Structure formats: C-alpha cells, structure tokens
C-alpha cells in the first residue's frame, strides 16, 4: 500500500498549500451514486513479462462498466470521501493469427471487480474537483476451458490495491460528471471451483490493470 499512502500524503500536502476555496455549500458533499464506463486493459506485470517474445503483447483489452456509491464531506478546504464500486469488463484472451495472446493467467475472460477505498480532493474552481484515490480491489478472471466436451467452470480470484486520480465537474447541485485514470496491481490469487472442490492457492502473481473511466452520477 506504499503507493496508496504516498498519493494520500501528496494530495493532503497539495490541499494545505492551496488557498481554502471550499465553502459549506460546496456541491461535492453528501452521498452519491454513479454509473461508469471506459477503457480497461489487464497486462502481465514486470516480474512475469515475456521480454523475449516481442510479438506477444501480453494484454487483454475491453470496455469496462459498473456502478459506484460514495460519501464526501468538506474538511476545511479539503474534500474527503469514502467509496465502493462493482464493475465488470468485456476483455478476454484471444488468438491472433494462431498465436495465443495471454498475460500469465491462462485462457480467461475478465469477471467482476470489487473496489473499496477513499479519496481526497481540492477545488480548482467552485464546480471542479481534482482528486486522488486509493484502496483495495478484488477482481475475478473467469477460466475459459473445457474437458471431454464439458465446460470447465472455475475462477481466478485476485487481491490487490488500486490508486488513481481524476477530475469531477458539478453539472448542477445534484448531478456530476467525472473522468479518472486508475491503476491496479493484483499480487495474490486462488483458483475457485464450482461445487465442493476445494480452492487452490496460486500464490503470488503480478497482474497490472489500467483503466480510463468516465462517470455520471447523482448526489443526494
């Protein structure tokens, strides 16, 4: 979580150095709900990257989508918030010209992604918030395979951290739009089977995830 801590420290320092612009009537306070969509790519991390094969891009790309909830409050010129998210993606491994384009987890498609975390922001202007975020993420990659003509159902369950930054614009006191970049790294994984079969600990992994997401939401 060192990257997460560094972002929070940097964000707090920036807020202290910025003149207090937020007032009690800032539009960036209270509970919120939002829908999200954008670009999603999972890649092999540096410890499992196949540097010897330049033709293998070791990534899967798709459209990410999801919903989020959060609560923000004004802390004397700094906006602090808690947030949670449920998302999914269309990304999956594939064969290109007969070559398998994998990223270290086998033949998989991206499954659901859970995130819980916090954010800290400052007002660039009364209706524009600049923020940094970070927290915990748990993502699944659904294994796509079969044996003897029967589908083999299992999921790779991964744990990691997420950091990111973005801007949020208040369209009016109750609605907002935002765009943000997020980086996630998954370092622990287990193979989950359907039925009574025991889960298998896969140990340490190194999977990077990059996302550029836009959102539209309503604040109560």
Residue 40 lies in a domain: yes
> Which CATH number is 131's domain given?
2.40.160.20
Residue 23 has pLDDT above 50, yes or no: no
Among the listed residues 4, 11, 125, 169, the one whose alpha carbon sits nearest the alpha carbon of residue 78: 11
Residue 203 lies in a domain: yes
Six token digits for residue 167: 């801007």
User: How many domains, the chain?
Assistant: 1
pLDDT of residue 50: 63
Q: What is the percent of the chain where pLDDT is above 90?
A: 60
Residue 14 lies in a domain: yes
Task: Give the Cα separation of 30 and 74 in Å (integer).
Answer: 9
Give 92's DSSP letter: B
pLDDT of residue 161: 98
Lowest mean pLDDT among 47-51, 78-82, 202-206, 214-218: 47-51
Residues 161-176 have pLDDT tens digits of 999 999 999 999 999 9
Task: Give the Cα separation of 26 and 73 in Å (integer).
Answer: 9
The set of residues, in sequence order, having a beta carbon less than 8 Å from that of 25 and lying 6+ positions away, is none
Residue 190 lies in a domain: yes
Residue 134 lies in a domain: yes
Residue range 185-210: mean pLDDT, rounded: 88
pLDDT of residue 146: 57
pLDDT of residue 56: 62
Six token digits for residue 39: 């670009």
pLDDT of residue 104: 83
pLDDT of residue 129: 97
Task: Give the Cα separation of 7 and 120 in Å (integer).
Answer: 9
pLDDT of residue 163: 98
pLDDT of residue 99: 74
Lowest mean pLDDT among 6-15, 110-119, 121-130, 189-198: 6-15
Residue 46 has pLDDT above 60, yes or no: yes
Report the SS3 class of residue 139: strand
Residue 24 lies in a domain: no
- The parent domain of residue 103 ranges over 2-19+29-52+59-219
The set of residues, in sequence order, having a beta carbon less than 8 Å from that of 205 and lying 6+ positions away, is 45, 48, 104, 105, 158, 186, 187, 188, 189
Residue 148 lies in a domain: yes
Residues 52-66 have pLDDT tens digits of 666 667 889 999 999
Residue 142 lies in a domain: yes
Residues 88-99 have pLDDT tens digits of 999 998 887 777
pLDDT of residue 37: 98
Among the listed residues 34, 22, 30, the one whose alpha carbon sits nearest the alpha carbon of residue 173: 30
Number of alpha carbons in the 13 Å side-chain half-sphere of residue 36: 26
pLDDT of residue 103: 83
């Amino acid at each position: 979580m060192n990257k997460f801590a560094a972002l929070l420290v940097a964000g707090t320092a920036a807020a202290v150095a910025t003149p207090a612009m937020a007032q009690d009537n800032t539009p960036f306070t209270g509970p919120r709900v939002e829908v999200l969509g954008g670009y999603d790519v999972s890649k092999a991390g540096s410890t499992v990257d196949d540097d010897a094969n330049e033709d293998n891009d070791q990534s899967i790309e798709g459209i990410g989508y999801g919903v989020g909830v959060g609560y923000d409050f004004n802390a004397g010129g700094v906006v602090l918030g808690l947030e949670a998210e449920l998302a999914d993606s269309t990304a999956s491994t594939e064969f290109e010209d007969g070559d398998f384009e994998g990223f270290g987890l086998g033949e998989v498609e991206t499954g659901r992604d859970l995130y819980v975390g916090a954010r800290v922001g400052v007002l660039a202007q009364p209706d524009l918030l600049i923020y940094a975020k970070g927290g915990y993420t748990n993502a699944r990659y659904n294994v796509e395979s079969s044996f003897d003509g029967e589908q083999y159902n299992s999921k790779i369950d991964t744990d990691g951290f997420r950091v990111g930054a973005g801007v949020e614009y208040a369209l009016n006191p109750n609605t907002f739009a935002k765009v943000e970049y997020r980086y996630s790294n998954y370092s622990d994984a287990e193979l989950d089977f359907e039925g009574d079969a025991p889960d298998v600990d896969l140990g340490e992994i190194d999977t990077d995830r990059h996302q550029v997401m836009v959102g539209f939401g309503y604040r109560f």
